[in-house]
Amino acid sequence: MAIVIKTQEDIEKMRIAGRLAAEVLDYITPFVKPGVTTEELDKLCHDYMVNVQGTIPAPLNYAPDGGTPYPKSICTSINHVICHGIPDNKPLKKGDIVNLDITVIKDGYHGDTSRMFYVGEVSDFARRLCKVTYECMWKGIEKVKPGARLGDIGNVIQRHAEAAGYSVVQEFCGHGIGKKFHEEPQVLHYGQPGTGLELKAGMIFTIEPMINQGKRHLRMLADGWTVVTKDRSLSAQWEHTILVTETGYEILTTSDGTPPKPVFKH
């Protein structure tokens, strides 16, 4: 499948879709607290997307390759769940960390973003994992510009994670996005600098590192979607949708509540 270089009109529509996805995360933030179920969070997000934004929740009934359709409107990945956790009726408890992954469709275009949330007070080691994962995403974003290569993004993410004593999930990656939920290229979160596809202005893709506290190995649960760490160690993920501009990058999934860029000690 060829990589779609987006037109100016595509980019405008992707800016809108990206902002709306981020605004769902802003909306749901006050509800993420001990005692709430992920089923309730899913319903709140679904109603906000459909009734307030006029967007379509992209994950709902999504079935790539004819697999089991995804049954909910958002992904909720708690503690040792790496990705694609399905909302259910189990309440969140104090000390949990949870990733909420939101993808909306507006006027035929997809906006895709995720954030980590703390449920009440969380342990220092959980907080550190979330912080380093956020930094990993940003280090990857900072490599984006025309002429750079995908391996540059993967390499800087992998180095930052491993320097902190963590591992990078290799089976799941970022992806091109636009009128389709998942397009080329695949954006690996590990690799060698100077290798892989050369970036060109007009490409749009996600950067969404999944970082494990323990080993990188995973297993898939029987529901066909939920992916967990094999050693049950904590996992964290952050995600933005990125446009390659003529001079660098633009983050398309920002809103009033988007956390600021981290300060790196160079």
Distance separating alpha carbons of residues 25 and 201, to the nearest angstrom? 28
Distance separating alpha carbons of residues 150 and 207, to the nearest angstrom? 11
Take residue 13 and report the two structure tokens written for it.
């529509």
Between CA 66 and CA 72, with CA 69 as vertex, the angle to 5 degrees is 160
Stretch 97-119: mean pLDDT: 98
Q: C-alpha 242: how far from its chain's center?
A: 11
CB 240 within 8 A of CB 115: no
Distance separating alpha carbons of residues 244 and 205, to the nearest angstrom? 9
Take residue 143 and report the two structure tokens written for it.
């490599």
Distance separating alpha carbons of residues 153 and 155, to the nearest angstrom? 6
Res. 112: pLDDT tops 70: yes
Q: C-alpha 22: how far from its chain's center?
A: 11
Q: By three-state DSSP, how is residue 190 classified?
A: coil
Stretch 23-36: mean pLDDT: 98
pLDDT at 132: 98
Cβ neighbours of residue 167 closer than 8 Å, sequence gap 6 or more: 161, 211, 212, 214, 215, 216
Write the pLDDT tens digit of every residue in 187-196.
999 999 999 9
pLDDT at 217: 97
1 — pLDDT class (breaks 50, 70, 90): low
85 — pLDDT class (breaks 50, 70, 90): very high
Res. 34: pLDDT tops 80: yes
Stretch 57-73: mean pLDDT: 94
265 — pLDDT class (breaks 50, 70, 90): confident
For the domain made up of 8-251, the CATH class stated in words is alpha beta
121 — pLDDT class (breaks 50, 70, 90): very high
Res. 264: pLDDT tops 90: no
pLDDT at 65: 82
Res. 134: pLDDT tops 90: yes
Residue ranges in 29-123 assigned as alpha helix (H): 38-47
Task: Specify the residue for token string 């290229």.
Answer: 185
Distance separating alpha carbons of residues 86 and 109, to the nearest angstrom? 23
Take residue 241 and report the two structure tokens written for it.
């949708």
- Give the residue extent of every domain in the chain: 8-251
Closest CA to 157 of 210, 216, 215: 210
CB 235 within 8 A of CB 82: yes
Closest CA to 57 of 17, 97, 90: 17
Q: By three-state DSSP, how is residue 40 classified?
A: helix
pLDDT at 59: 98
Please state at what angle helix 124-142 crosses helix 150-163, rounded to 10 degrees: 160
Distance separating alpha carbons of residues 127 and 74, to the nearest angstrom? 23
pLDDT at 266: 62
